[in-house]
């Protein structure tokens, strides 16, 4: 297992290298730039000075290798668009904890409620409970989260006469440092959790319903085993394999923030930079955020493969010589 993990981590390094090359080339071949005349209104001389200052007048290969040398030291340069031109790592360090708090609560709510709803729907297949869960899941997937956020703000805030609900809900949380258990998280987490909860419920329902129809479950039922034992010993371990494959990749997106959620609720998190950095041609910010996302995706799939062996003992990891790792 240790050799397998080391090989996968080595492969992840090569993936990050390939992603950095592709993104760096693509963002530099697109016409325009962070200080282009048409976008910012700089004079030709000022534009040339800015490009010289940030090394944008250098050949593409030289700029990439300079970036790579700094990136391996977790230095992605200075942001072109954020006020004060702070280092990209400082922007991530200051804003990501806020996004992580919301994301962790979102994962806990969406996965726990989704699992419960999916299991209940599978046990009550084709009943009104199943139909209600299916309808709720479809609604959660179909309705965009910014629509849900706007509706909840109107419903909770203006209908109760609180005036500016986003300041009431978010202001105390982010100004004095967020408390880990605070009602200020309620609306952002509920809004952000509906879509992943719906996906978890749908896939849990399908996986558990398929496992309930398996021969080994009918055998366990014929032996008179309690439903609780059948669920935790026979159904869930077999149902979790396809669920892990589909649902764990949701985690990187939840931990890196959502532009719509953060804008609607006024959360000073990391999510907004994923979009604004592209529009502003903020090259250092783009590279830092893309590599962060790529690292999380690679790490998620590694954890997925390890969880296979933990949940289902029949799954084994083999090394290159065929021996069990």
Measured CA to CA, the distance from residue 55 to residue 48 in angstroms comes to: 10
Question: Does residue 247 belong to any structural domain of this protein?
Answer: yes
Q: Token match 């719509």: residue?
A: 260
| pLDDT computed for residue 137 by the predictor | 86
Question: Does residue 244 belong to any structural domain of this protein?
Answer: yes
Domain CATH code at residue 187: 1.10.3720.10
Range of the domain at 159: 94-270
10-residue stretch averages of pLDDT, the chain, 325 residues long: 81 91 88 65 73 82 90 88 85 86 87 89 86 87 83 67 45 45 72 88 87 83 83 79 77 80 79 82 89 89 81 58 47
| pLDDT computed for residue 27 by the predictor | 86
Question: Does residue 75 belong to any structural domain of this protein?
Answer: no
Question: Does residue 19 belong to any structural domain of this protein?
Answer: no
Q: Token match 């609900």: residue?
A: 165
| pLDDT computed for residue 174 by the predictor | 44
Question: Does residue 225 belong to any structural domain of this protein?
Answer: yes
For residue 20, give Cα distances in angstroms to 66, 116, 196, 251.
Answer: 12, 40, 29, 22
Question: Does residue 52 belong to any structural domain of this protein?
Answer: no
Question: Does residue 103 belong to any structural domain of this protein?
Answer: yes
Tell me how many domains the chain contains. Answer: 1
| pLDDT computed for residue 257 by the predictor | 75
| pLDDT computed for residue 100 by the predictor | 85
Question: Does residue 66 belong to any structural domain of this protein?
Answer: no
| pLDDT computed for residue 40 by the predictor | 56
């Amino acid at each position: 297992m240790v050799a397998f993990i080391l090989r996968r981590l080595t492969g992840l390094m090569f993936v990050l290298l390939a992603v950095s090359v592709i993104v760096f080339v693509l963002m530099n071949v697109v016409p325009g730039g962070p200080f282009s005349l048409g976008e910012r209104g700089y004079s030709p001389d000022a534009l040339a000075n800015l490009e010289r200052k940030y090394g944008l007048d250098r050949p593409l290969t030289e700029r990439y290798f300079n970036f790579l040398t700094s990136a391996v030291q977790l230095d992605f340069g200075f942001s072109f668009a954020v006020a004060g031109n702070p280092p990209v790592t400082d922007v991530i360090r200051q804003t990501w904890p806020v996004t992580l708090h919301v994301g962790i609560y979102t994962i806990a709510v969406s996965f726990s409620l989704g699992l419960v709803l999916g299991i209940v729907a599978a046990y009550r297949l084709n009943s009104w409970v199943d139909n209600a869960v299916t309808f709720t899941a479809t609604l959660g997937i179909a309705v965009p989260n910014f629509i849900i956020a706007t509706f909840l703000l109107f419903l909770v805030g203006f209908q109760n006469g609180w005036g500016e609900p986003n300041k009431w809900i978010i202001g105390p949380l982010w100004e004095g440092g967020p408390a880990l258990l605070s009602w200020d998280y309620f609306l952002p987490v509920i809004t952000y959790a509906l879509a992943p909860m719906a996906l978890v419920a749908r896939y849990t329902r399908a996986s558990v319903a398929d496992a309930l129809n398996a021969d080994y479950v009918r055998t366990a039922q014929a032996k008179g085993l309690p439903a609780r034992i059948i669920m935790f010993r026979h159904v869930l371990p077999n149902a979790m394999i396809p669920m892990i494959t589909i649902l764990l990749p949701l985690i990187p997106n939840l931990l890196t923030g959502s532009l719509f959620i953060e804008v609607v609720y006024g959360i000073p998190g990391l999510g907004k930079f994923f979009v604004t950095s592209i529009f502003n041609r903020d090259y250092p910010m783009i590279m830092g955020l893309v590599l962060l996302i790529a690292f999380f995706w690679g790490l998620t799939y590694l954890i997925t493969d390890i969880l296979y062996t933990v949940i289902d003992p029949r799954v084994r990891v083999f090394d290159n010589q065929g021996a069990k790792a």
